[in-house]
Amino acid sequence: MYFKQSLLIELPILFSFEQGKILENIGICSQVDFVRYIQGRKTPGVDPKLFIKDLWFEKVPVRIYQPKAPSASQRRGVMFFHGGGWVFGSLETHEKLCRFIARESESVVVSVGYRLAPEHKYPAAYEDCLNATIHFMKNIEHYGVDPANVIVCGDSAGGNLAAAVSQTLAGGSDLPKLRAQILIYPGLQAVDFNLPSYQQNHRVPLLFRERAAFYVLQYLNGNATNLEEVLEGSHIPIDIKLNHRKWVSPDNIPEKFKARGYKPHVLLDCTNEVFEKVKRLCEPNLCPLLVEDAIVQQLPESFILTCEYDVLRDDGLLYKKRLEDNGVRVTWYHLEDGFHGIISLYDYCGFSFPAGKRGLDSVVNFLKSL
C-alpha cells in the first residue's frame, strides 16, 4: 500500500520537474527555480501555541519557533537543518515539521535557511549551518534555552549537515558541548553508491539512486559532470577506497538487510582527472562517515532514524555502527515500512502516512528524554 501512496506523492513532484524543464528550455526560468517556487509557495497561518519569528544570524536567515506556554525552567534548543539534496528545501518546506517538533517537545526550534546548490557550492551550506549554530549558542540567553541542552537535527541532506556541524563542534572548547544530534535518514558518504540499500531501493520514491548521486555532485561542483563515474564507483582511487573500507563497507551491514537481494560490487579504479574533480568527497565536512575515530569518540548522544525502503538506509546503519564502536550512545529507530522523505509527509494533502507519524513521534520522544 505504501508504494501506491509514495508514487502518488512522487507524481506531482515529477510533474513540477517536467514543467520546470519546459520553462527552462523556452527561457522563462530555470528548472531549479521553478521547483523551488512550487515547493515553497504554501505557508501555514498563525500557530496559537507558538511565537514564530524570522531573523538573521549573522548573514544566515533563520526562523525561530518558541512555545507560548510559560516554562518553569530553561527549554532545550533544537537547531534544525532541512533536507532537499542541498539543492531544494527551505524554511517554508519544513515549516509544518518544525512547528510540530516545537509544539510537541516544548522546545525552541531554530530552522536554518542555508544557501543552496548549485549556485552556492560546498562548503556554503555547511558553513551557514555551523555559523548559525555558533551564533545561537553564543547568544542563547535571549531565547530562554539551557546552554547545556542544545541539539542539532536534520533530515536527509539536513542530517548530513547536522552530523558535520556536530563533528566540528565536538573538538571545540569555547562553547558548551552539544547535548545530542538527531539524524533523520541522513546521507553521510559518497564513496559507494552500490551498498545494499542503493541496489535494493534504486527506483523507490522519493529518492532514486541516480538522483542521490546527482544532488551530491550539485553540492560539490555545481554540476553533475561525473555522475556515471560516481554511480559505478570509478571516481575514487582503489587505495583510498580500501582505506575507507573499515567504515564504508557492505561487510558492516547486518545480513538481515541484504535479504532482499545484494550483489557484491567489483572495486573499480579511477583516473587522476576524475578524482581531481571530486576529491573533496573524501572530506568529512561533506561526507561525515569518513571522519577519524578521535572525533567520533567525542560526539554527543545520538538518534538515528532509518527507513527500509530508502537508498540512504545503509549510510545510517554504517554511522550507527561507527558511533557504537566508539562508545557513543545511540538510539536507533528503523521504519520497516518507511521510505525516504516520509517524516515530512506524515500528513500530506489528505494522505496519511502512519509510519511517518511514528517516526516523528520517535524524534519527539527522544527530545523529551534529554
Residues classed as catalytic: 156, 310, 340
Q: Which three cell numbers stand for residue 114?
A: 542555508
The dihedral through the CA atoms of 76, 82, 86, 89 has a sign that is negative
What amino acid occupies position 99? R
